[in-house]
Amino acid sequence: MATRHGRRIAGAAGLLTSGLGLSAAAVGAFAAWTLNEPRRPPLPYTFSPFELGLDAEDARFSATDGVPLVGWYLDDPDSDTVVVCCHGHRGNKADMLGIGSGLYRAGHSVLMFDFRGNGDSGDGRQSLAHHEQLDLTAALDWVAQRRPDARIAVVAFSMGAATAALTAAYDRRIEALVLDSPFATMSDVVGAAIRKYRLPSGQLVPAANLVNRLRYGYGFAQVRPLDVMDRLAPRPVLLLHGTDDRVIPYSHAEQLVEAAAPGTVEFVTYPGVDHCGAYFQDRPAYIALVDGFLRRTSRNADR
């Protein structure tokens, strides 16, 4: 009798464990799908340089895996810097019109482009700052061909900022970086998102990582800006982050600053500001801050 009762308990425990495992797999698969699958808005209407009275050139180029990419280029032939603007996850180049037009009017050439699966760019293997490194590299190729005399700086937000740091670690053509609200590690930002729903991130992050590797071709361990911060030196970095960021916790910025080579990072904190909200808190001041950093760190700064 006791043995039969024990078997029933063991069977129930097995079903519960299996159920939990299936639930973790399902949530993990959903998390991976949310991160990686292209999802374009049903009505793809956006503002463009036309609304701002800017004469922009269409820039078209392709990543090495064949994904066609599209951007807007604002050329100032007298500038010594081309600023490449990188939008965040599920964003597009229209999100960059504020900072892009501001920096152009301040005297910089500017390229704003759509990462794969967004805006006017083609679909391809999407990710969270992994496959997008191919896109940024292609943008650098285009700029280097168009303005071989110019310094290239990158101004990037959220996922775009993580992509910029990872790309700059091996591409020395990026000579200065402005990183707004980047994450330190992919696993931690996914875990933070899962915990917001009061779900066990300890089980679900590994499940999402497994699906990510099997379905989308990369693992969370391959997306760790934290590991490359010390490789950005001696290039200057301006890092901006709000203390009330609900998407990428402020602690990520602190980790990135600590991991960087001493004296590399200029860290600006925005008290009470949410994710990528510093620009919207004071647009003129934000543009002036970024413009000042770019000029202070330019090749001609000491001349």
pLDDT digits (tens, 9 = 90+) for 148-197: 999 999 999 999 999 999 999 999 999 999 999 999 999 999 998 888 87
Write down the pLDDT at residue 53. 95
What is the reported pLDDT for 9? 33
114, 67: one domain: yes
pLDDT category of residue 204 using cuts at 50, 70 and 90: confident
Same domain, 145 and 290: yes
Identify whether residues 129 and 106 lie together within a single domain: yes
Pairing of strands 109-113, 151-157: unpaired
| 105 shares its domain with 171 | yes
Length of the chain: 303
Query: In this model, does residue 86 exceed pLDDT 80?
Result: yes
pLDDT mean across residues, the chain: 89
Same domain, 211 and 99: no
What are 93-140's pLDDT values in tens digits? 999 999 999 999 999 999 999 999 999 999 988 899 999 999 999 999
Beta strands in the chain (DSSP E): 57-62, 68-74, 81-86, 109-113, 151-157, 174-180, 237-242, 265-270
Q: Looking at the structure, do residues 267 and 212 belong to the same domain, yes or no?
A: no
Residue 18 pLDDT > 70: no
Burial of 77 (0-12, 13-18, 19+ CB in 10 A): exposed
Confidence of residue 198 (pLDDT cuts 50, 70, 90): confident
Burial class (CB in 10 A: 0-12, 13-18, 19+), 251: middle
Count of domains forming the chain: 2
Instruction: Provide the token pair at 147.
Output: 């303005």
* Domain span including residue 287: 48-185+223-296
